[in-house]
């Protein structure tokens, strides 16, 4: 073993007890020998067991019908989420807000994010109504499995903007090997050909079939030709769903003011749009080290810190840009509906 490997070995070992998922970077996570002995499956089982335990502690605050829908499907769709007048004001304030934006390119699609930082929250005062909504707060925490304040962005998906291969997000995949939360409040109607979100109902469950599939994948992704699978977001072929006892995906072509919230361990994708489209949404994300015992104790959820996390993350990313490539480029001040 080289001196460098000896130095890194404790870090690689410690990463086994975090959400580290890449089969490229860590020789323990990618080890065929350890995965044949069940390392990946053990990390999965423990993470899911702990998430179920934490969700049990958060369940009481959740509306019973939301909890039943989530436990059954792994995804919840709530039409007319905000009162119409509140939604109209929120939509108007978001679409006219010009803030510091970041963009990333994946295939032919550009994704833009604008942080809901203190300046944005002053310009979009109605956002407070969404953030403090009891139904949202309880459900977001239950799905994440943590009592944490989700990260919140204004997100725009600009499809078919470049002459390039298709957006890789149109391939069905699990984001991680452990439960994690993503949510969308759509500001406009999402038609069937407008790149709707799609989800395989029930694929959030760690069944015997899924465990067998995960084990198989843990032994093959490293040498396969899918870079994103090798990085720990396993892609799934729709032909494999029957073997996993799962249905074909549901497409969420939904009216404006629909909230969709999902556990992204479940298989999901962005459906390919028929023509260039711009989809603007309020987008939330809740994820934490899956091996934490407690649901709370998150400094990042403290008011005053919570709304500054995204600019801080971007700034930290910029500082390390020379070492780790940054995919989110600053593009100056933009409105959510502006062209790229």
Q: Which residues of this protein are in contact with Fe ion, per CB under 5 A?
A: 175
Nearer to Fe ion, 147 or 175 (CB): 175
Minimum distance between the CB of residue 290 and Fe ion, rounded to whole angstroms?
A: 16
Nearer to Fe ion, 31 or 176 (CB): 176
Nearer to Fe ion, 175 or 307 (CB): 175
Q: Which residue is nearest to Fe ion (CB)?
A: 175
Minimum distance between the CB of residue 106 and Fe ion, rounded to whole angstroms?
A: 11
Nearer to Fe ion, 175 or 263 (CB): 175
Residue recorded with tokens 């489209």: 277
Nearer to Fe ion, 169 or 278 (CB): 169
Alpha-carbon distance of 278 to 108, in angstroms, equals 13
Number of H-type helices and E-type strands within the chain: 11, 11
Minimum distance between the CB of residue 33 and Fe ion, rounded to whole angstroms?
A: 29
Minimum distance between the CB of residue 174 and Fe ion, rounded to whole angstroms?
A: 8
Nearer to Fe ion, 149 or 167 (CB): 167
Please report which helix (H) or strand (E) contains residue 64, including its range. Answer: helix 64-73
Asked if 257 and 82 touch (Cβ cutoff 8 Å), the reply is: yes
Alpha-carbon distance of 292 to 161, in angstroms, equals 41
Asked if 263 and 203 touch (Cβ cutoff 8 Å), the reply is: no
Minimum distance between the CB of residue 235 and Fe ion, rounded to whole angstroms?
A: 10
Nearest to 262 by CA among 29, 74, 78: 74
Alpha-carbon distance of 308 to 299, in angstroms, equals 12
Minimum distance between the CB of residue 92 and Fe ion, rounded to whole angstroms?
A: 29
Kind of pairing between the strands at 278-286 and 250-252: unpaired
């Amino acid at each position: 073993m080289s001196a460098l490997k000896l130095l890194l070995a404790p870090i690689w070992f410690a990463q086994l007890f975090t959400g580290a998922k890449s089969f490229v970077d860590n020789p323990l996570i990618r080890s065929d020998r350890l995965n044949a002995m069940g390392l990946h499956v053990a990390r999965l089982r423990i993470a899911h067991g702990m998430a179920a335990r934490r969700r049990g502690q958060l369940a009481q605050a959740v509306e019973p019908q939301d909890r039943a829908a989530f436990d059954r499907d792994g995804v919840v769709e709530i039409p007319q989420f905000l009162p119409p007048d509140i939604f109209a004001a929120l939509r108007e304030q978001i679409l006219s807000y010009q803030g510091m934006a970041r963009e990333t390119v994946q295939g032919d699609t550009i994704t833009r994010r604008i942080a809901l930082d203190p300046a944005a929250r002053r310009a979009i005062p109605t956002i407070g109504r969404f953030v403090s909504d009891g139904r949202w707060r309880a459900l977001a925490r239950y799905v994440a499995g943590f009592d944490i304040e989700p990260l919140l962005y204004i997100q725009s998906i600009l499809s078919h903007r470049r002459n390039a291969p298709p957006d890789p997000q149109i391939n069905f995949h699990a984001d991680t090997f452990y439960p994690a939360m993503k949510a969308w409040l759509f500001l406009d109607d999402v038609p069937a050909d407008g790149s709707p979100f799609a989800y395989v109902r029930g694929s959030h469950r760690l069944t015997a079939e899924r465990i067998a599939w995960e084990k198989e994948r843990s032994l093959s992704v490293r040498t396969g030709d899918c870079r994103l699978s090798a990085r720990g977001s396993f892609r799934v072929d729709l032909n494999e769903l029957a073997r996993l006892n799962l249905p074909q995906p549901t497409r969420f072509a939904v009216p404006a003011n629909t909230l969709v919230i999902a556990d992204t361990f479940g298989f999901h994708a962005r459906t390919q749009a028929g023509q260039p489209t711009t989809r603007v949404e309020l987008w939330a994300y809740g994820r934490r080290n899956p091996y934490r015992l407690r649901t709370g104790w998150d400094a990042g959820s403290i008011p005053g810190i919570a709304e500054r996390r995204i600019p801080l993350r971007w700034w930290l990313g910029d500082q390390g840009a020379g070492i780790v490539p940054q995919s989110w480029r600053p593009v100056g001040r933009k409105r959510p509906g502006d062209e790229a």
